[in-house]
Amino acid sequence: MDLTLFIWRQKGQQDKGRLDQYTARHISPDMSFLEMLDTVNEGLIAEGREPVAFDHDCREGICGMCSQVINGIPHGPQEKTTVCQLHMRHFRDGDTIYIEPWRAKAFPVIRDLIVDRSSLDRIIQSGGYASVHTGGVPDANAVLVPKQDVDIAMDAAECIGCGACVAACPNGAAMLFTAAKVTHLAMLPQGRVEAARRVCVMTEAMLREGFGNCSNHYECQAICPKGIKVSFIAKLNREYLKTFMGSPGCSTGE
Amino acid sequence: MILDGKSPAGPLAERWDRRRQELKLVNPANKRRYKILVVGTGLAGASAAATLGELGYTVEAFCFQDSPRRGHSIAAQGGINAAKNYPNDGDSIYRLFYDTVKGGDFRARESNVYRLAMLSNNIIDQCVAQGVPFARDYAGYLDNRSFGGAQVSRTFYARGQTGQQLLLGAYGALSRQIHAGTVRLYPRTEMLDLVVIKGQAKGITIRDLTTGAIRSHAGDAVCLCTGGYGNVFYLSTNAMGSNVTATYRAYKKGALFANPCFTQIHPTCIPVTGDHQSKLTLMSESLRNDGRVWVPKKKADERKPHEIPEDERDYFLERKYPSFGNLAPRDIASRAAKEVCDEGRGVGPGGRGVYLDFADAIQRLGKDKISERYGNLFEMYEKITAENAYERPMRIYPAPHYTMGGLWVDYNLQSNIPGLYVLGEANFSDHGANRLGASALMQGLADGYFIISYTIADYLARTGPGGASADHAEFLRSIGEVDAASKKLLSINGRRTVNDFHRELGRIMWEHVGMARGREGLELALKRIPELRGEFWSNVKVPGSGADLNQELEKAGRVADFLEFGEVMALDALLREESCGGHFRVEHQMPDGEAKRDDDNFCYVAAWEFRGIGKKPELHKEPLTFEHIPLATRSYK
């Protein structure tokens, strides 16, 4: 099939950027979306033009590197599917497709479709872990964990850190991302000990990085390629509120 | 030169303890004065950087991805082995050791493998403490599944995303150290050279992939945790960015490359659909627990799978290997699949596929149970093929997946260059000629969490801190060389794209240095690779400049290395006149088509020393001795 593409081109963070028009010819329905872009890029290089820069790596939907807004939807039209797992059979011959980078205050564009998501790493660095040193830990079966709890923890831990939730949110919030990590660790006895402090420092890091707040649009849940639920945001809020009732309270932060 | 692996002597179970006694320590107050450069942030790199940071060393960690959470370990699906023996089904450290040595077809070091089996249990404890949500039963205990090459259930798993969960655990530990200031992270940074001063590894030269800046980092030791070279085949289950560049450039600086021909072709991948294909997708081996592999008995059978009656199906793994059945090791299962397809009994487009059928398991356990175990894999399969594997069998075919070969290291994980350590898939040490399923995660984490911190201290304590600074002439020379190579690539302005060359190299490698290798094909590969390399350097087209983000330039550097490395691989395969594990020479097989090992002549590690581009590298040998497990023909029948 043949397609008309409008792709966001931007040289660097300081440039304005614009949508340029391209034609993709002889696209097989078995191609992935990124393989379609590979084909377009091969054509551009042959013509002596600069290929479109885009992030991608594992191409099996788990590394979280690919990040494109397709026709206004982060990761495109297929539910629970990353761009790299989206196949061209979901498009029709003659379609026009708009391809843009994640757009959020906390994700500056580096080039074309590539954005800087290090703000998400910094949220994790602030406290998104159980503070355990290597060695000196008990036997793995010493602490039992109810299966229901592990299942919820795993549902949350499946987050791939792609940032689509931020791109989909009208407020540019990273609540779903942060809530997933807060929930994952709060559900397990190993992470419970630091739960109060964690929710504080991670929430503060989130605001510091320029992410917005949640106002319950649920766009994040709708586009999340891993099906992370907004109920985790409620869990984050509960964990956050709890810190005001007993121990330190969030204002003390670090 | 005969290489010494520096394995400790004495009873197997005491060797690691004994070695740890001999190793020097670095005083806690002095640790911060030593700088360690860790390249790669997959399981091995992230766990090493985190652990070294916790101990107080000054660590710099580098990755080419935008975040350390994206190393390709993240894509490992099925699980991680450990000799916990929680199911009480007869497992032990010794049995895991035995299975791994046997699975590796007697081409790994006994001492290393035993240590790996011992540490496997610590890994599970560590990961649980980090909050890795391993699967559990209703009483809250950890659950296990079985995996290829073993008759016990020793594999711990987190749905079909075990690698992801383990990596996120290590990434958490690393993030904690970044926050604490012991580790400084350099994402979107690619190592392009190793700097060796007076015979010791003293730093690396990198390219900042965002700004294009080329600069050096000096350190007291370098740990390469940069994964394998499966992308030499172009199509593999590796991530698109996975490459041989870091290890290959260390090789060009004198590090020995061991057993490059030991590559693993994984039996359960989604078949190729066309020339546009950019990578192959693995379906976890754990699927073989409940899926049955078959093809029609009749050649070119056009019927749909459900129309083929039971007695016209050939469950060839169960038929040929009754005791292991569908769980035969990867190399054996892959070759068996290739064989039936070569006979014309393959299924799907092009006849390059076999069925992996869950109908029996669904009938026995119910769809819900299967979905709980493999739901995400079935979803992934459907996304790629538009077929529902609950209703019709999956189609699978072997694909390059893992590389057992890598830089040569001794028992301490140190290469032949003092101060250069190599961890995880990037080294050659533990899997011999074939890796068993769920053992890669185990090795990466054993190296990173529990080995390197002991062994590197010994070297550091002996050399003292602050040996080099980045204004040393060697660093300047290295920057000059890296810069010149970039400029050269950008200046060729030929007619073929980087991908085009990579694709052609991949075809040569898959055809002649792939699942079955013959003298004639290997010689042809050794002729065609240099020709292709010659054309690359005169006809490749790399657009843009080196002064900012340029993904084509990144790829070009990697493919340039693959074009040299492929030759070393083919040469190694040619000289190893035996079949063992993943290395199958058509001239050396049993009458029934099984691999025929030659222990009299090839029971050694082949370690290659760089002698110049296009020149024959020099072969060094490390003899392998088997004191505990007598050399025997592998049988899974």
The 3-class SS string of chain A reads: CCEEEEEEECCCCCCCCEEEEEEECCCCCCCEHHHHHHHHHHHHHHCCCCCCCCCCCCCCCCCCCCCCEECCEECCCCCCCCHHHCEHHHCCCCCEEEEECCCCCCCCEEECCEECCHHHHHHHHHHCCCCCCCCCCCCCCCCCCCHHHHHHHHHHHCCCCCCHHHHHCCCCECHHHHHHHHHHHHCCHHHHCCHHHHHHHHHHHHHHCCCECCCCCCHHHHHCCCCCCCHHHHHHHHHHHHHHHCCCCHHHCC
Banded model confidence at residue B599, pLDDT cuts 50, 70, 90: very high
Q: At what angle do helices B473-492 and B519-539 cross, to 10 degrees?
A: 90
Whether B330 is catalytic is yes
Chain B contact for A145, CB < 8 A? yes
For the segment B267-288, the average pLDDT, to the nearest whole number, is 91
The answer, yes or no, to whether residue A249 has pLDDT greater than 80, is no
The answer, yes or no, to whether residue A254 has pLDDT greater than 50, is no
Cα A86 to Cα A142: distance, rounded to the nearest angstrom: 43
* The dihedral sign for the CA sequence A196, A197, A202, A204: positive
Interface of A with B in 151-170 (CB under 8 A): 153-154, 157-158, 160-161
Which amino acid does the sequence have at A228? I
The answer, yes or no, to whether residue B331 has pLDDT greater than 90, is no
Q: Which two tokens stand for residue A103?
A: 């757009």
Interface of A with B in 117-136 (CB under 8 A): 117-118, 120-121, 124-135
The answer, yes or no, to whether residue B467 has pLDDT greater than 80, is no
CA-nearest residue to A188 within chain B is B131
Test mutation, B20, B41, B52, B66, chain A, max A CBs within 10 A:
B66
Look at residues B356, B389, B354 and name the one whose alpha carbon lies nearest to residue B289: B356
Share of chain B above pLDDT 90, in %: 90
Interface of B with A in 280-319 (CB under 8 A): 281-282
Nearest CA-CA distance, residue A52 and chain B, Å: 9
Chain B residues inside the 8 Å CB shell of A39:
276
pLDDT of residue B252: 98
B565-588 pLDDT tens trace: 999 999 999 999 999 999 999 999
Asked if B295 and B311 touch (Cβ cutoff 8 Å), the reply is no
B149-180 pLDDT tens trace: 788 999 999 988 999 999 999 999 999 999 99
Asked if B525 and B513 touch (Cβ cutoff 8 Å), the reply is yes
CA-nearest residue to B167 within chain A is A63
**C-alpha distances out from residue B637 to B55, B103, B151, B333, B338, Å:** 48, 14, 13, 12, 19
pLDDT of residue B256: 98
Cα B407 to Cα B9: distance, rounded to the nearest angstrom: 23
CA-nearest residue to B541 within chain A is A45
The answer, yes or no, to whether residue B548 has pLDDT greater than 60, is yes
Q: What is the mean pLDDT of chain B?
A: 96
- CB nearest to A141's CB, from B86, B453, B551: B86
- CB nearest to B133's CB, from A117, A127, A157: A157
Cα A84 to Cα A58: distance, rounded to the nearest angstrom: 8
B27-63 pLDDT tens trace: 999 999 999 999 999 999 999 999 999 999 999 999 9
Return residue ranges of chain A for CATH 1.10.1060.10.
117-252
Percent helix, percent strand, percent coil in chain B, to nearest 5: 45, 20, 40
CA-nearest residue to A62 within chain B is B75
Lowest mean pLDDT among B240-254, B419-433, B620-634: B620-634
Chain B residues inside the 8 Å CB shell of A126:
179
Banded model confidence at residue B431, pLDDT cuts 50, 70, 90: very high
Query: Do the chains contact at B74 and A63, CB–CB below 8 Å?
Result: yes
- CB nearest to A131's CB, from B86, B176, B273: B176
- CB nearest to A125's CB, from B66, B179, B548: B179
For the segment A173-180, the average pLDDT, to the nearest whole number, is 98
For the segment A27-51, the average pLDDT, to the nearest whole number, is 96
Which listed residue (B70, B109, B330, B533) is catalytic? B330
Asked if B81 and B120 touch (Cβ cutoff 8 Å), the reply is yes
ipTM surpasses 0.90: yes
Return residue ranges of chain A for CATH 3.10.20.30.
3-110
Test mutation, B20, B155, B276, B558, chain A, max A CBs within 10 A:
B276
**C-alpha distances out from residue B450 to A136, B44, B51, B453, Å:** 12, 10, 8, 7
Banded model confidence at residue A251, pLDDT cuts 50, 70, 90: low
**C-alpha distances out from residue B607 to B123, B271, B427, B579, B618, Å:** 30, 34, 12, 18, 8
For the segment B95-110, the average pLDDT, to the nearest whole number, is 96
Query: Do the chains contact at A12 and B74, CB–CB below 8 Å?
Result: no
pLDDT of residue A247: 60
Q: Which two tokens stand for residue B190?
A: 């690619």
User: What fold does the segment set A117-252 form as a domain?
Assistant: Fumarate Reductase Iron-sulfur Protein; Chain B, domain 2 (1.10.1060)
Domains identified in chain B and CATH numbers: 12-262+404-463 (3.50.50.60), 266-400 (3.90.700.10), 476-603 (1.20.58.100)
pLDDT of residue B519: 98
| Phi, psi angle pair for B436, to nearest 5° | -80, 155
Chain B contact for A35, CB < 8 A? yes
User: Count of CB contacts below 8 A, A vs B?
Assistant: 213
- CB nearest to A35's CB, from B128, B137, B278: B278
Chain A contact for B272, CB < 8 A? no
Share of chain B above pLDDT 70, in %: 100
pLDDT of residue A248: 60
A188-240 pLDDT tens trace: 999 999 999 999 999 999 999 999 999 999 999 999 999 999 999 999 999 99
Ranges of H-type helices in A158-217? 164-168, 175-186, 189-192, 195-208
Test mutation, A11, A15, A49, A125, chain B, max B CBs within 10 A:
A125
B129-139 pLDDT tens trace: 999 999 999 99
Q: Is the pTM of this model over 0.95?
A: yes
For the segment B607-635, the average pLDDT, to the nearest whole number, is 94
Which amino acid does the sequence have at B152? V
Q: How many CA within 13 A on the CB side of residue B125?
A: 18
- CB nearest to A60's CB, from B75, B125, B165: B75
User: What fold does the segment set A3-110 form as a domain?
Assistant: Ubiquitin-like (UB roll) (3.10.20)
Q: Which two tokens stand for residue B316?
A: 């060839």
**Chain-centre distance for alpha carbon B349:** 29
Look at residues B61, B485, B205, B544 and name the one whose alpha carbon lies nearest to residue A111: B544
pLDDT of residue A253: 45
For the segment B511-539, the average pLDDT, to the nearest whole number, is 97
